[in-house]
Amino acid sequence: MKPVIALTKGRLEKQFLQFFQYLDFEAEPLLDKGRKLQIETEQFSFFFAKGVDVTTYVENGIADLGVVGGDTLIEHKPDVYNLFPLPFGQCRMALATKADYSWPDRKNRIASTFTNITKDYFREKGESVDIIRLEGSVELAPILGLADAIVDIVETGTTLKENGLVIQDEFLSFSARLIANRSSLKVKRDQLVPVIERFKEGAKQR
Amino acid sequence: MFLPAGSQDETGVQIANRLKASEIFRKVSEKRNFKAISTPVVEYAHTFTNEIAGMDLQSMLKWFNSEGEIEVLRPDWTAAVARAIAKQHQSFQKWSYQGSVFRMDKDGTENRQAGIEIVHADPFLGESECLLTAIQYLKEIGLEEYVIELGHTAIFEQIIKPLKLDLKEEEALRMAMHDKRMDLVEELLSNYPEEIKDALVQLIDAYGGSDVITHYEHVWANQPELLAILQHIRQLINLLEATGVSEVIVDLGRVKNLPYYDGIMFRGFVTTDGSTCFSGGRYDRLYKQFEQETSAVGLAFDVDQLALHMETKDSLTKACIIATPETHSIAEKYREDLPEDIVDIQYHVHNEAIYSAIYTVILDNNQYKVVKR
3-state secondary structure of A194: helix
Task: Tell me whether residues A187 and B271 touch, CB distance under 8 A.
Answer: yes
Nearest to A186 among B183, B251, B273 (CB): B251
Class of B12-308 in CATH? alpha beta
Task: Tell me whether residues A183 and B183 touch, CB distance under 8 A.
Answer: no
A4-89+175-205 and A91-172 have identical folds? yes
3-state secondary structure of B138: helix
The better pLDDT of the pair B13, A196 is held by A196
Q: pLDDT digits over A130-186, tens only?
A: 999 999 899 999 999 999 999 999 988 888 999 999 999 999 999 999 999 999 999
Q: How far apart are CA A167 and CA A170, in angstroms?
A: 7
B266 near B149, Cβ under 8 Å? yes
A15 near A91, Cβ under 8 Å? no
- Number of neighbouring beta carbons within 10 Å of residue B135: 17
Q: pLDDT digits over B308-327, tens only?
A: 888 766 567 889 999 999 99
Lowest pLDDT segment from A30-44, A81-95, B37-51: A30-44
> Is ipTM beyond 0.95?
no
Q: Check pLDDT > 90 for residue A67.
A: yes
Q: In a 10 Å sphere around its CB, with 0-12 CB exposed, 13-18 middle and 19+ buried, how is residue A163 labelled?
A: middle
H or E, element range at A47? strand A45-49
What are the domain boundaries of chain A? 4-89+175-205, 91-172
Enter the pTM of the model: 0.87
What are the domain boundaries of chain B? 12-308, 318-372
Q: pLDDT digits over B258-298, tens only?
A: 888 999 999 999 998 888 999 999 998 888 878 777 889 99
Nearest to A71 by CA among A126, A12, A134, A122: A12
Nearest to B306 by CA among B7, B80, B98: B98
- Number of neighbouring beta carbons within 10 Å of residue B195: 9
**Residue-level pLDDT at B314:** 59
H or E, element range at B82? helix B77-85
Q: pLDDT digits over B63-114, tens only?
A: 999 999 999 999 999 999 999 988 777 788 999 999 999 998 777 789 999 9
Q: How far apart are CA B44 and CA B106, in angstroms?
A: 21
CATH 3.50.50.60 given to domain A4-89+175-205: no
Residues of B in CB contact (< 8 Å) with A are: 147, 149, 179-183, 205, 207-208, 249, 251, 269, 271, 273-276
A37 reaches B (C-beta below 8 A): no
User: Min CA distance, A137 vs chain B (Å)?
Assistant: 31
Task: Tell me whether residues A61 and B147 touch, CB distance under 8 A.
Answer: no
Q: How far apart are CA A180 and CA A168, in angstroms?
A: 35
Class of A91-172 in CATH? alpha beta
